[in-house]
């Protein structure tokens, strides 16, 4: 099963990845309305299920191994669906292993430090998945589109002069390289929304009373800068997609498809880390055996010495049966079929 899923997820996300060094022009290279029409909605459900399963399983192993951490950076314009994506994709995961950090307009204290400071303070620990709802990439996006924000950062003249964006790209790449070298995988997702879909979603926020709280007139006014943002995103993607931390561009006009994509990218990242439950050493095994003997000796008259053992055996049998049952076989077949469809689509330039 693990193999079928790995292949499916890897194949599915391939077309979303920005090749390191590629020159990206968003409008030309990535369609926000894309939803792989050769896949049926049922195929989408199969991929999402595989993704959610893998995430739950591998997150538990990641936490147990306590060696690697994962940092997920979510970037997007307003109403692209960052919040909903986090809610849906992480639904199967143990909340103890996940921490979400949202970044807003920086505080006075934050502006008193270097521009990466506030992000560094929220990095996940080993065994954890940290999600940045907006991230250090705001420092080359909103700050680039609105030069007055850069002015507020109290930088020395040389640091805000010519070449500031090229320098920031290089600094961010180096920072992520440093994190990767130290056991922290950075997964970067850009939810790519069209201007028309954003208009519709803003109107929904205006029209539906329970969505009013989410609407901000300032967000709508920001549409004036749409072109500037597209240019800033394109430059960001061209300059900061690296071998150690590539960008994924997620088509965001169809929410269900965006969630399938995000779940697949995250699951794939965890599969690449392939965390393992720690092995117990000989001394500890000896310890366990002695404790077992003691506990078994305490069994009351007539009770089985180790009822837990029987439970485990029964569970293992059940799991084996589940792996071999008709439904699981059908699921694997479906995955194989989707992988074939993806390969065909790729050959014919989809
Ligand atoms: P939201 O995430 O929609 O609640 O809004 C957060 C706001 O904070 C957005 O308008 C962002 O543009 C803004 N913001 C996030 N990071 C920065 C930053 N580094 N500098 C200035 N504004 C920021
Ligand atoms: Mg907002």
| Amino acid 108: pLDDT | 97
| Euclidean distance between CA atoms 300 and 114, whole angstroms | 65
Q: What pLDDT is attached to residue 37?
A: 86
Beta partners for residue 185, in sequence order: 70
pLDDT confidence of residue 349: 76
According to DSSP, the residues that pair with 72 across neighbouring strands are 131, 187
Q: Are the C-beta atoms of residues 193 and 76 closer than 8 Å to each other?
A: yes
Ligand 1 atom nearest to CA at 219: 10
Q: Are 10 and 230 in contact (CB under 8 A)?
A: no
Predicted confidence at residue 40, as pLDDT, reads 87
Give which of 248, 257, 204 is closest to 85, Cα–Cα.
Answer: 257
Q: Which atom of ligand 1 is nearest to the CA of 115?
A: 19
**How many CB atoms neighbour CB 179 within 10 A?**
19
Beta bridge partners, 190, equal 75, 249
CA 256/CA 79 separation, integer angstroms: 14
- What's the confidence (pLDDT) of residue 350? 63
Our mutation pick for probing the ligand 1 site, out of 142, 145, 236, counting the most ligand atoms within 8 A of Cβ, is: 142
Q: What's the CA-to-centroid distance between 280 and ligand 1, angstroms?
A: 46
In the reported structure, the alpha carbon of residue 216 is separated from the centroid of ligand 2 by a whole-number distance in angstroms of 7
What pLDDT, on the 0 to 100 scale, is given for residue 91?
A: 87
Taking the centre of ligand 1 as the mean of its atom positions, its distance from the CA of residue 114, in whole angstroms, is 17
How many CB atoms are closer than 10 A to CB 139?
Answer: 22
CA of 183 to the centre of ligand 2 (A): 32
CA 104–ligand 1 middle distance (angstroms): 4
Pocket of ligand 1 (CB under 6 A): 78, 103-106, 134, 138-139, 142-143, 149
Minimum-distance ligand 1 atom for the alpha carbon of 104: 8
Closest by alpha carbon to 36, among 339, 247, 334?
339
d(CA 100, CA 273) in angstroms, rounded, equals 21
Token look-up 């439970």 returns 311
Residues 6+ apart with CB under 8 A from 339: 7, 8, 11
pLDDT of residue 22: 97
Confidence at residue 2, expressed as pLDDT on a 0 to 100 scale? 65
Nearest ligand to the C-alpha of residue 232? 1
Mean pLDDT by 10 residues, the chain (350 residues): 83 95 96 91 89 93 97 98 94 92 98 98 98 98 97 94 96 98 98 98 95 93 98 98 98 96 96 95 95 96 93 93 89 92 86
pLDDT of residue 41: 82
Element (H, E) at 248: strand 247-251
């Amino acid at each position: 099963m693990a193999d079928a899923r790995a292949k499916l997820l890897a194949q599915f996300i391939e077309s979303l990845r920005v090749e390191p060094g590629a020159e990206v022009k968003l409008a030309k290279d990535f369609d926000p309305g894309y939803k792989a029409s050769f896949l049926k909605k049922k195929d989408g459900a199969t991929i999402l299920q595989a993704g959610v399963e893998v995430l739950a399983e591998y997150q538990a192993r990641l936490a147990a191994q306590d060696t690697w951490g994962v940092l997920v950076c979510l970037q997007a314009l307003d109403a692209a669906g960052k919040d909903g994506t986090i809610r849906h994709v992480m639904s199967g995961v143990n909340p103890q292993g996940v921490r979400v950090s949202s970044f807003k307009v920086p505080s006075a204290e934050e502006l008193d430090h270097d521009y990466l400071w506030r992000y560094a303070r929220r990095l996940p620990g080993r065994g954890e998945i940290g999600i940045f709802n907006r991230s250090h990439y705001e420092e080359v996006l909103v700050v680039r589109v609105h030069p007055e924000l850069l002015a507020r950062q109290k930088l020395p003249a040389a640091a805000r002069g010519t070449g500031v964006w090229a320098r920031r790209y290089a600094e961010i790449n180096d920072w992520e390289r440093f994190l990767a070298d130290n056991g922290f995988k950075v997964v970067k997702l850009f939810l790519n929304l069209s201007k028309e879909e954003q208009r519709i979603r803003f109107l929904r926020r205006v029209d539906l009373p329970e969505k009013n709280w989410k609407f901000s007139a300032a967000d709508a006014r920001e549409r004036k800068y749409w072109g500037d943002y597209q240019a800033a995103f394109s430059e960001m993607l061209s300059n900061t997609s690296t071998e150690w931390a590539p960008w994924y561009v997620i088509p965001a006009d169809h929410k269900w498809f965006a969630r399938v994509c995000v779940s697949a990218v995250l699951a794939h990242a965890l599969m690449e880390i392939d965390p393992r439950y720690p092995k117990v050493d000989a001394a500890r095994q000896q310890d366990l055996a002695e404790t077992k003997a003691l506990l078994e000796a305490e069994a009351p008259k007539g009770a089985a010495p180790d009822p837990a053992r029987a439970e485990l055996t029964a569970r293992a049998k059940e799991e084996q049966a589940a792996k071999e049952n008709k439904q699981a076989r059908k699921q694997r077949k479906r995955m194989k079929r989707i992988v074939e469809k993806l390969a065909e689509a790729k050959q014919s330039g989809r």
